[in-house]
Amino acid sequence: MPLARQFSARINASVMDRLERRGARAGLNKSRLAERYIDEGLRMEDHPGIVFRDGPAGRRAALAGGPDVWEVIAVVQVSGLPGEQALSAAAQWGSLALSQVRAATRYYAEYPQEIDERIARNVQEADAAEQLWRREQHAAA
């Protein structure tokens, strides 16, 4: 993890109050929450069409109005197709515009470890669910 550096800023009182309330709900102190919002804001500005969502698996990058970035990248990777064909296949899979798939791949190009970890976690969870299903089927036989 990169070294932390101190930063001081004057923030409107109502914004600070909202940040403190949101931090309390999220279980984060206001400094960590502000850092997350700054980081995500910079990422969204650098990668138009990318937003961040909360969910059962935690906070993750997603296409605005579309699937998570990791889902799009997983489809591109498993398509077995080269370049543009893989992107087109992912667009068709998700009923996405090609520009949305490109937004996901640009984000992935800058943050591959983050997305690869999400994909690996999904594969592990799917494998565990399949193993459980197989044991259930064997027990019921």
Q: Are 20 and 85 members of one domain?
A: no
* Residue closest to 50 by CA, chosen among 129, 58, 39: 39
Question: pTM of the prediction?
Answer: 0.85
pLDDT band of residue 58 (cuts 50, 70, 90) is confident
Residue 69 in any domain: the answer is: yes
- Based on the domain organization, do 65 and 88 belong to the same domain? yes
d(CA 56, CA 124): 16
Alpha-carbon span 113 to 64, nearest angstrom: 21
Q: Which of these, 93, 88, 84, 44, lies nearest to 64 by C-alpha position?
A: 44
Instruction: Give the pLDDT confidence score for residue 141 in this predicted structure.
Output: 80
User: Measuring CA to CA, which residue among 117, 120, 126 is closest to residue 59?
Assistant: 117
Q: For residue 74, tell me if it sits in a domain.
A: yes
One domain for residues 27 and 64: no
Provide Rg for the chain, Cα atoms.
19
Q: If pLDDT is split at 50, 70 and 90, which confidence band does 127 have?
A: confident
- Looking at every residue in the chain, the average pLDDT score rounds to 93
Q: Domain check: are 16 and 61 in the same one?
A: no
Whether residues 18 and 59 fall in one domain: no
The predicted-structure confidence for 36-49, as pLDDT tens digits, reads as follows 999 999 999 999 99
Percent of the chain past pLDDT 90, that is, above it, reads: 74
Note down the domain range covering 132.
48-140
From 1-5, 94-98, 113-117, the region with the lowest mean pLDDT: 1-5
- Whether 89 and 130 map to the same domain: the answer is yes
Looking at residue 1, what is its pLDDT? 62
Alpha helices for the chain (secondary structure H): 13-26, 30-46, 69-78, 83-94, 98-110, 112-140
Does residue 5 fall inside a structural domain? Answer: no
Residues 67 and 21 in one domain: no
**Number of domains present in the structure of the chain:** 2
Q: Are residues 72 and 21 in the same domain?
A: no
Look at residue 55 and tell me if it is in a domain.
Answer: yes
